[in-house]
Structure 1
Amino acid sequence: MAFTVPESIRSTATAGERLLFRTLKTYLPDDYIVYYEPNIHGKRPDFVIIGPDLGLVVLEVKDYTKNTLFQLNQDEWTLVTSSGEQTKTKSPIKQARDYTFHIVDALKKDRSLVQLEGKYQFQLKFPYGFGAVFTRLYQKDFIEEGLYSVIEPSLCLTRDEIDPEKEAFSEENLVEKIMNMFVVPYRLREPLMKEDMDAIRYHLFPEVRISAEFKQPVPYQDQLLLSLHDIKAMDLHQENLAKQIGSQNRLIRGVAGSGKTLILASRAKLLAKEHPDWNILILCYNISLARSIEQMIHHMMKEPDSLFDFDFTSGEEVIQSNPHNIKVRNFHAWLKNDLNIQERDIPTIIEKLEKGEAILPMYDAVLIDEGQDFEGDWFQLVSNLLNPDTKSLLLVEDRAQTIYKRKRSYVQDTGLSFQGRSKVLSINYRNTAQIVKFAWEFYQNKSKLKNKVVSKEHEGEIIAPQSTRRKGAEPAIIKTDNFFHEAKFVARQIKKLHEEKKVPLSEILILYRVKKTYKMDYISVLRRSLEQDGIGYYWLTENSETKRAFEKDDNRVKISTIDSSKGLDFQAVFIVNIDNMPFALEEDKEREASLLYIGMTRAKEFLCLSYSGESEFTRYLDQVEAHKKLVRSEDERSG
């Protein structure tokens, strides 16, 4: 079964389009991608098919009958409308061909997708083709009407070739005809790799780019092309969700690392492009996440639809960054700066808004990240300021990351029902399989909510994560005799990762639960150790100003509380001083388990947990280490 984008076809599609959609989805191989009416740089072909052993094929779909056709040639068709009038239109094959070359021109500029030598130098390294599908005409109609003299038989599909209920239909014939709709004579010697498939998607659909990773290309054509090898694009499931969220209120529940924030930002970009006059608001709980989303949105809106829209003579972008209509705020900054109210005023303001006695800014779309941390009356306030005509509210949450006690009743809080309007993201893309397993086993062991874990879409509280197949190092557990030695160890390991594994300092995060106690100023000790090893650092959570000034790519290690790391991710994460967890002054142990789980799932590649004292959580880590040693010794004996 092929992967389709969108997942299901819109209800207003023609009967013929719905039939072809179902047939392609059912009968094409699993590793094929079928796009229905994709928006490719302003053009909308009916279907685009990409397959590893196929290349790329564009299909134009027509519901013409024999009575529709009046006069035809290879370029122009004269049709008879239902009212009996004649109208001229471009030949379906010419339409499909034009769409195809529009796509090919966009892809040819990527050096990784073209042949660099030989007979077909500078052509795409894979075949591309086009065809037309006639959903109400049969092969016998083509023969009787002489249509094959106008359209090459290899470039068209008829009803009996796409309808599984017709006797003449066969899966082999369908696939063979699509495989032969080519205007270039060569076939693929080797199938396209996943990187090639991603590169095609990356150029054709700007919304699938993970733009937080986007680096400004250098202003020389050859180097620009080379710089696009290390591209990063959304997973197909994420792409489907970002494009298919639909209008009005939606709820996305996802595990840590599933791309919730990325989808939210991508959705905001799509709304801003489709509705440039809309007032769009993104809200989240913590300041550093708001700053991170703001940077992501900035990159997304600044990036041209085509990465090749650069003036190579001047070295400047042809497309200038325009101010966009998306505001990103953490909730309390929004209250203070945009609404000019305080949290204690919210119930009174809601009452006044409902009576029409107060005027505050209205928003055409609101997107809320980390919704599990929002209070009920916060949602009420937001829903009162949401345009009732659009009802465009996107709520994103992961209850395994809940660190504040909130009551959950979205219908009551927002006045909007999310029944049938929610999606679950259970695949963790951020972390390696080892980190996902380690973090989830800890959470299940220490969380009281573990009995509420389910994986079905609308049942239960917590979603169990499924990891991707990406493998990596096992998380490291380090026990020292005092915090001075712990801080020295962390500094040495950071230096080692940077020098030997080439991990940028800006991709390293140190997380702490407690800044200082009467016994020890943990941050001072940590900073001193980093300075002694010549490691630049930025204390993200020193104060509210440092949170607002946070720039991830500044070539410095970041130091942060676990609370403020929500929504962020780094290649390497060190969680220090775990003996202060659960924190003695924190009565809610559930919050502490969620916090440590959040901290662990910030790490994309490397995770290190260190401690120099004892607590409930360190005793768990001691048991994990003891079990690992036991397994190793048994392996050595049996080996």
Structure 2
Amino acid sequence: MAYMIPETLPKKCTAGERLFFHTLKDHLPDDYIVYYEPEIGGRKPDYVVIGPDLGMLVLEIKDYTESTLYELFPNEWRIYNTQGELNTVKNPLHQARDNAFRIADKLKKDKNLLQTGAFHGHLKFRFGYGVVFTRLKEMHIVKHELHRVIEPQFMLTRDDIDAEDDDVSGDALIERLLGMFTVPFRSEQLLSDADIKAIRYHLFPEVRISAEFKEPVYYNDQLLLSLHNLQAMDLHQESLARQLGDKNRLIRGVAGSGKTLILSARARMLAKDHPHWKILVLCYGISLSCVLRSMIDNMMEEPEDLFDFVQINSEQEDAGKLKKHHIETSTFHEWLWHTMRIKDDAIDNLLQKIDQKEAILPKYDAILIDEGQDFEPAWLELLSKVLNPDTQSLLLVEDKAQNIFKRKTSLAASTGLDFRGRSKILSINYRNTAQIVNFAWDFYRTYSSLRDRVKEGTTVEGVEIIPPQSTKRKGPDPVIQACKSFDEEAAWVAENILKLHREHKVAFSDIAILYRVKNRYSYSYIDQLKKELNKHGIPFNWFAESNATKRSYDRDQATVKISTVDSSKGLDFKAVFIVNVESMPFSLEENVEQEVSRFYIAMTRAMYWLYLSYSKPQGFAAWLLEKSDQTVSLPLQRS
């Protein structure tokens, strides 16, 4: 079964298009990817099929009937439209061929996708093109002599794609698709996973996460890119980002599943498709809002064609960027104050004025909310009032397991929007290693009062926790350290940071220290940490010190980040140290469930290395003591 992007077709599709869609899905191999109407370089070919042993195939779909056809010439056709009027159109095979060559020319700019040796400059894989007539059978092709204007090998008819026909099979379909290529397949043309990722990276900007750019080279006066260590959305994330469609949508996902990435990509798509829309992106934490703003700005500034990016940067810095976008990114409270000039204790009064038509409100064509589980019902109700009722474009992403505030929300009651059948689930954790995922989830299942409400399948309005599925990425086990005092903890943290930096080349910017309580009585945990870091010459930034420092958060600053657990929501680091674990659950916190979520959040900030330390075996540290008795912590491993 092929991987279809999007997973389902829009309602506007014809019966013939749906028939062909399901035929491809059911009969092509699992490692084939089928894109329906992807936008590539300002055009939308009907289908692009990519397969390791296939290469790339571009297909044009036509729902023509016998009565549609009037005069057929090699370059142009005269056909009747739905109103019975004669129109002149391009030969559909020429449409498919032009799209195929445009895509091929785009991909040829990446030298990693080119052949070497005698065929240097040519793509390392085959590309072909063809036409699918969903309502014309072989007898119609013969009767109207379509073979005069399209060679039979480049055509699929109703007889080839109708699953109810006994002659239609996976092998027969693939044989017909292979016939659309003008060159034979050679074993060296087999596409690797890296090749397919590179193709997706170039053709679909919305899937890009990061890449290493090598110095461009010239070949026959053409500037060629060289990309390494490509990071892109996986197919499930890409499909979800594309399939969100219009109006209100809900995404529920586990920590590290790429919710923020999908939200940012969605904001970019909306801004691109609707350049005049006013778009609002909100979250709860200040530091996360900085990350969101930077991610969206980078996506908006990056051109569709990375070749243009290289040319622009080589000629004129900051030139050629996309036009200034209309995406406003903020925390909810900052937006509330700057836009409404009120604090959240005045929201109920404002809602009453809105009901009485005594308030003037701004209007947003789309609103996207990250960490939606932290939004109170009144906040969501207010946001529903400033959402354009004609678009109803509200995207809410959340993870109930990360709900650290005492808020119960009925989305339908708060927003007036029905999310039934409009929700998607992300259950795969891409951020953490399997060791960290299993460790954190084991804790959550042990302590959470909601453990009996963990479900594989979820409903929209119920309180549900999605169990994470880890990726195959492996790493060292979490390291647990019992100390005699916090002074010893701080020294242990500093020593291990230096070890990571020197032996494993981990940048200081990729390391974070998280805490729940910053001081007690006359003792300051933060001061002791700062003292030890200074002693070892380790640069640091306590960005959670104040709202001002949170607003200046810079993920790439060459410093170890010191933060509360709350301010680390939505962030991630290669290595995370959680200190003073015995301070959780915090004695002044009445709701222990929130403390369980906090500790779970803290652990899942770590991408590869997780360190946990305590000086008293109480609170959650008692669980660490039990875990350390069961397992032996592994020494640092090289990544």
Q: How does 1:30-429 map to 2 (within 5 A)?
A: 30-81=30-81, 85-115=85-115, 117-189=116-188, 191-210=190-209, 213=210, 227-309=226-308, 310-311=311-312, 314-316=315-317, 318-429=319-430
Distance 1:23 1:85 in 2: 32
Q: How far 1:318 sits from its partner (Å)?
A: 4.8
The reply on whether 1:489 has 2:488 as its aligned counterpart is no
Contact 1:32–1:51 (CA under 8 A) maintained in structure 2: yes
Distance 1:233 1:31 in 2: 17
Distance 1:218 1:536 in 2: 31
Q: How far 1:214 sits from its partner (Å)?
A: 6.0
Structure 2: which 5+ runs fail to align? none
Distance 1:341 1:130 in 2: 59
Question: Secondary structure, in 3 states, of the residue corresponding to 2:56?
Answer: strand
Q: How far 1:446 sits from its partner (Å)?
A: 0.9
The reply on whether 1:571 has 2:574 as its aligned counterpart is yes
Letter of the structure 1 residue corresponding to residue 464 of structure 2: E
Distance 1:534 1:241 in 2: 45
Contact 1:280–1:363 (CA under 8 A) maintained in structure 2: yes
User: CA 1:317/1:335 → structure 2, altered by over 3 Å: closer, same or farther?
Assistant: closer
RMSD: 2.1
User: CA 1:177/1:187 → structure 2, altered by over 3 Å: closer, same or farther?
Assistant: farther
Structure 1: which 5+ runs fail to align? 633-639
Deviation string, structure 1 residues 321-365 (Cα, Å, up to 9, x no partner): 532111111111112122111222111111111111011322111
Deviation string, structure 1 residues 497-551 (Cα, Å, up to 9, x no partner): 2222222211111111111111521111111211222211111101111100011
Question: Secondary structure, in 3 states, of the residue corresponding to 1:258?
Answer: coil
Q: How far 1:319 sits from its partner (Å)?
A: 1.5
Q: How far 1:144 sits from its partner (Å)?
A: 4.0
The reply on whether 1:521 has 2:520 as its aligned counterpart is no
Q: How far 1:91 sits from its partner (Å)?
A: 1.0
Distance 1:333 1:86 in 2: 58
Distance 1:380 1:312 in 2: 45
Distance 1:214 1:109 in 2: 16
Letter of the structure 2 residue corresponding to residue 15 of structure 1: A
Contact 1:368–1:394 (CA under 8 A) maintained in structure 2: yes
Contact 1:582–1:615 (CA under 8 A) maintained in structure 2: no
Q: How far 1:84 sits from its partner (Å)?
A: 5.0
The reply on whether 1:509 has 2:512 as its aligned counterpart is yes
Moved more, 287-296 or 242-251: 242-251
Letter of the structure 1 residue corresponding to residue 448 of structure 2: S
Distance 1:584 1:190 in 2: 63
Partner of 1:13: 13
Partner of 1:24: 24
Distance 2:633 2:500 in 1: 28
Distance 1:313 1:550 in 2: 29
Letter of the structure 1 residue corresponding to residue 99 of structure 2: Y
Distance 1:106 1:625 in 2: 54
Q: How does 1:430-449 map to 2 (within 5 A)?
A: 430-449=431-450
Deviation string, structure 1 residues 79-123 (Cα, Å, up to 9, x no partner): 2445554322111111000010111111111121111x2222111
Moved more, 66-75 or 312-321: 312-321
Letter of the structure 2 residue corresponding to residue 93 of structure 1: L
Q: How far 1:614 sits from its partner (Å)?
A: 2.1
The reply on whether 1:602 has 2:629 as its aligned counterpart is no
Contact 1:217–1:224 (CA under 8 A) maintained in structure 2: no
Q: TM-score, normalised by structure 1?
A: 0.94
Letter of the structure 2 residue corresponding to residue 87 of structure 1: N
Question: Secondary structure, in 3 states, of the residue corresponding to 1:478?
Answer: strand
Letter of the structure 2 residue corresponding to residue 450 of structure 1: R
User: CA 1:136/1:561 → structure 2, altered by over 3 Å: closer, same or farther?
Assistant: same
Partner of 1:635: none
Partner of 1:474: 477
Partner of 2:555: 552
Contact 1:126–1:188 (CA under 8 A) maintained in structure 2: no
Distance 1:631 1:371 in 2: 37
User: CA 1:215/1:126 → structure 2, altered by over 3 Å: closer, same or farther?
Assistant: closer
Partner of 1:498: 501
Distance 1:398 1:625 in 2: 29
How many residues get paired? 629
Q: How far 1:631 sits from its partner (Å)?
A: 13
User: CA 1:179/1:316 → structure 2, altered by over 3 Å: closer, same or farther?
Assistant: farther
Moved more, 158-167 or 190-199: 190-199
Question: Secondary structure, in 3 states, of the residue corresponding to 1:448?
Answer: coil
Letter of the structure 2 residue corresponding to residue 350 of structure 1: L
Deviation string, structure 1 residues 45-78 (Cα, Å, up to 9, x no partner): 1100011111100010112233333332332222
